[in-house]
Amino acid sequence: MSADATLREQICLLAKSLFERGLTHGSTGNISARTPDGGLLVSPTGTSFGRLDPARLSHYAADGQFIDGDHPTKEMPLHTAFYETRSTAGAVVHLHSCHSVALSMMPGVDPDNFLPPLTPYGIMKLGRVKLLPFFLPGDPAMGAAVRGLAGKRSAVMLANHGPVVAGKDVEAACNAIEELEDTARLAMMTRGLNPRMLTDAEQEAVITKFDVEWDK
């Protein structure tokens, strides 16, 4: 099997796993990954993560020209913004995951550090997550907001919408966005219960030991 075919299968397999575990639903969410030649494979618009067809993924050349496949997701500005500002980005995933969306609606959330420091894993896999304001779905302004971060964040949370995460490859991006949703779930479960957070010293130890990209 060619590298392109393997990547197509991997995108669809991981997307189906996210869908089957309820991390996105219906025809929500979108996913993209760099091909070995520098192009992009992208989930088509209006498709379900549970039923993606490897042969129908939108395919772009390295110069951004559409090659073949179905029409891409309307959230392409989000994806291209991450690829253009983060040289390490090999894949981007956007979900409509329930707990992270719920947390984005809560008062008192820090827009510069969306996830509370409940476990080391959110820090290790995501760094600091930026909470962006609400945009209409498909609004190119979302891409402009990501570009405004100048590549300093691997993950953002779109208020009242869903998380977007870039990773070195499609598996890493999916693992990271799952960690974002799981940390948000913990935050919602413990909200108002005064849970013990990681101390500043403990957070710094995690950042140092695991060489976390931590925009300050």
- What residue type is assigned to position 40 of the chain? L
Residue 158 lies in a domain: yes
Tell me the percentage of the chain whose pLDDT exceeds 70.
100
pLDDT number for residue 199: 98
Range of the domain at 14: 3-209
- Model confidence at 147, pLDDT cuts 50, 70, 90, reads very high
Q: How many domains does the chain have?
A: 1
Indicate if 83 belongs to the active site. Answer: no
What is the C-alpha to C-alpha distance for residues 54 and 43, in angstroms, rounded to an integer?
Answer: 9
Structure confidence at residue 53 (pLDDT): 97
Catalytic residue among 9, 20, 75, 179: 75
Contacts of 21 (CB under 8 A, 6+ apart): none
Residue 70 has pLDDT above 70, yes or no: yes
- In this prediction, residue 51 carries a pLDDT of 97
Catalytic residue among 60, 83, 84, 121: 121
| pTM of the predicted protein model | 0.96
At 1 the pLDDT is: 74
Residue 216 lies in a domain: no
Task: Assign residue 29 the CATH number of its domain.
Answer: 3.40.225.10
- The first and second tokens of residue 202, run together, are 């403990």
pLDDT band at 209 (very low <50, low <70, confident <90, very high): very high
Could you tell me if 54 and 12 are in contact, meaning their C-beta atoms sit under 8 angstroms apart? yes
pLDDT at 82: 98
Placement of tokens 């005064």 in the chain = 194
Is 114:130 a contact under the CB 8 Å cutoff?
A: yes
pLDDT of residue 118: 97
Asked if residue 214 belongs to a domain, the reply is: no
The per-residue pLDDT of the chain, averaged, comes to 96
Residue 216: pLDDT band with limits 50, 70, 90: low
Residue 31: is its pLDDT beyond 70? yes
Is 175 within a domain? yes
What pLDDT digit, counting tens, does each position of 120-136 carry? Answer: 999 999 999 999 999 99
Say how far residue 102 (Cα) sits from the centre of its chain.
16
